[in-house]
């Protein structure tokens, strides 16, 4: 709660108030406009919901759950709760096996209209209300009261706050064509996004969990978590860092993959001289793959837009721009492995070996550590590439 407590305390001090001893996040029952009618109760700065904002949700939701592998793993962890049943569903006389959750939160269901079987997660209206209350309190100023990304404070932010009615996420480290798991979303909100107004949020796990369920429930019918064909994925995994203790070697290998097999420079800047590039790719000296090789190329994406205008995204130059989702080798492995959902940045896990992805994680980190925050050193390095010296 560090950052939040500070924020609340700051706001209270500047208003000359004391913080209420009770949970300052509890939103009291209001009249039809959401106003607190019990005038006698002391109000914390965040106690009162904004005008005309409905906080209560009256409908339960069924949202897409992870796939069978996930249930298999859960059944191993908690066999009292999850078990495999051979004839769980009976569809037109045929039986279908699947995992059963004794608590009833997850269910394998048959969608007759689409003729599809899928796992779903039940979220009660109470839980959605809890999530919505915290969402309105903490997130709506940027992400909007309806989760569409047009909050009052978010209207002029670029990149814009995420629109939760669309199924696209960039930094959850889950391969981009899949929906992010609950865990990946919670970690993202706890970690925040470097260099953006999306700060790390020190809320409790229960609060985060409820907020996440609420965000998922913003999917319109047939989209995202309400689409029977959606798949929920997980943070990309690695069998361990193959370069431990050999960091310098990893950086060299990473530089070669970045400028060779992976061709990261087709969007991000290249960071080697033309001679070196030719050497890595076994090409005649002096042949350049593109103009302005040491500059990134902006990419347009329809999936992220502001009032119908598609965003132009600049693949970051690691020597000075922010990498949002963390810069440890593991974080970079996961980000590069998963790609950036809904953008040009592809998933690399699967098309490159884990060893190569790890090597690039070390290489990208070395660019960040050597040049970011050292503008003179960076200028010298980049101009040495540009003049070919």
Where along the sequence are the contacts to ligand HEC (CB under 6 A)?
A: 138-139, 141-143, 153-154, 157, 159, 161-162, 169-172, 185, 188-189, 193, 196-198, 201, 211, 258, 262, 264, 266-268, 299, 313, 315-316, 323-325, 332, 335-336, 340, 343-345, 348, 360, 364
Residues 60 and 125 sit within 8 Å (Cβ to Cβ): yes
Choice between 100 and 155, CB closer to ligand HEC:
155
Closest CA to 99 of 116, 124, 76, 115: 76
Query: Which letter does DSSP use for residue 347 in this model?
Result: -
Separation of alpha carbons 161 and 340, rounded Å: 16
Alpha-carbon distance of 191 to 340, in angstroms, equals 17
Closest CB 160 distance from ligand HEC, rounded Å: 6
Work out the angle between the directed axes of helices 354-371 and 247-259 (0-180°, nearest 10).
Answer: 100
Q: How far is CA 54 from the centre of its chain?
A: 27
| H-helix or E-strand spanning residue 5 | helix 2-14
Which is nearer to ligand HEC, 106 or 348 (by Cβ)? 348
Which of 107, 119, 112, 123 has the alpha carbon at shortest distance from 68?
A: 119
For ligand HEC, the closer CB: 121 or 137: 137
Q: Tell which residue, 125, 127, 93, 126, has the closest CA to residue 110.
A: 93
Burial class (CB in 10 A: 0-12, 13-18, 19+), 264: buried
Least gap, CB of 352 to ligand HEC (angstroms): 7
Question: Quick one: 171 or 293, whose CB is closer to ligand HEC?
Answer: 171
Paired strand residues for 124: none
Smallest gap from Cβ 188 to ligand HEC, in A, equals: 6
| E-assigned strand segments in 17-64 | 61-64
Rounded to a whole number of angstroms, the minimum distance from the CB of residue 146 to ligand HEC is 14
Nearer to ligand HEC, 99 or 162 (CB): 162
The beta-strand segments (E) located in the chain are 61-64, 82-91, 94-101, 106-111, 116-123, 299-306, 309-313
**Shortest distance, position 356 Cβ to ligand HEC, whole Å:** 8
218 touches 337 (CB < 8 A): no
C-beta of 110 vs 150, nearer to ligand HEC: 150
For the CB of residue 50, give the shortest distance to ligand HEC in the complex, in Å.
14
Q: Which is nearer to ligand HEC, 23 or 92 (CB)?
A: 23
Single out the residue of 176, 211, 216, 170 nearest to residue 194, CA to CA. 170
CB of 81 to ligand HEC, least distance (A): 27
CB of 65 to ligand HEC, least distance (A): 18
Q: Is the peptide bond before 228 cis (omega within 30 degrees of 0)?
A: no
Residue 169 CB, shortest distance to ligand HEC, in Å, is 4
Q: How far is the CB of 344 from ligand HEC (least distance, A)?
A: 4
Nearer to ligand HEC among residue 98 and residue 147 (C-beta): 147
Read out DSSP for 65-87? PP-HHHHHHHHHH-TTTEEEEEE
The nearer residue to ligand HEC, 100 or 141, going by C-beta atoms, is 141
CB closer to ligand HEC, 57 vs 189: 189
């Amino acid at each position: 709660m560090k950052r939040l407590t500070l924020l609340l305390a700051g706001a209270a001090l500047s208003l000359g108030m004391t913080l209420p001893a009770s949970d300052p996040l509890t939103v009291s029952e209001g009249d039809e406009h959401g106003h607190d009618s019990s005038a006698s109760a002391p109000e914390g700065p965040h106690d009162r919901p904004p005008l005309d904002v409905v906080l209560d949700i009256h409908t339960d939701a069924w949202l897409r759950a992870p796939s069978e592998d996930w249930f298999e793993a859960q059944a191993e962890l908690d066999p009292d709760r999850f078990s495999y049943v051979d004839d769980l569903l009976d569809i037109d006389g045929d039986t279908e096996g699947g995992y059963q959750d004794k608590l009833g939160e997850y269910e394998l269901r048959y969608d007759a209209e689409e003729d599809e079987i899928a796992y779903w997660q039940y979220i009660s209206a109470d839980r959605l209300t809890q999530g919505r209350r915290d969402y309105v309190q903490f997130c709506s100023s940027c992400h909007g009261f309806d989760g569409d990304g047009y909050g009052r404070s978010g209207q002029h932010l670029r990149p814009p706050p995420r629109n939760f009615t669309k199924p696209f996420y960039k930094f959850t480290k889950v391969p981009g064509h899949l929906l992010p798991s609950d865990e990946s979303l919670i970690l993202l909100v706890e970690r925040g996004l470097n260099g953006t107004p999306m700060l790390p949020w020190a809320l409790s796990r229960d609060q985060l969990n409820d907020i996440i369920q609420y965000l998922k429930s913003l999917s319109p019918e047939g989209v995202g978590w309400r689409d029977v064909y959606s798949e929920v994925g997980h943070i990309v995994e690695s069998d361990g860092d193959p370069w431990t203790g050999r960091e310098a070697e990893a950086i060299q290998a990473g530089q070669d993959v970045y400028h060779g097999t992976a061709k990261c420079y087709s969007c991000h800047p290249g960071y080697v001289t033309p001679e070196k590039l030719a050497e890595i790719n076994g090409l005649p000296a002096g042949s350049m793959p593109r103009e302005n090789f040491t500059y990134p190329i902006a990419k347009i994406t329809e999936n992220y837009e502001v009032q119908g205008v598609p965003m132009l995204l600049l693949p970051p130059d690691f020597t000075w721009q922010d990498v949002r989702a963390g810069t440890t080798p593991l974080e970079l492995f996961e980000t590069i492995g998963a790609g950036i959902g809904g953008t040009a940045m592809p998933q690399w896990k699967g098309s490159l070996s884990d060893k190569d992805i790890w090597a690039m994680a070390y290489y990208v980190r070395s660019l960040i550590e050597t040049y970011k925050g050292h503008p003179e050193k960076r200028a010298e390095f980049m101009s040495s590439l540009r003049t070919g010296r």
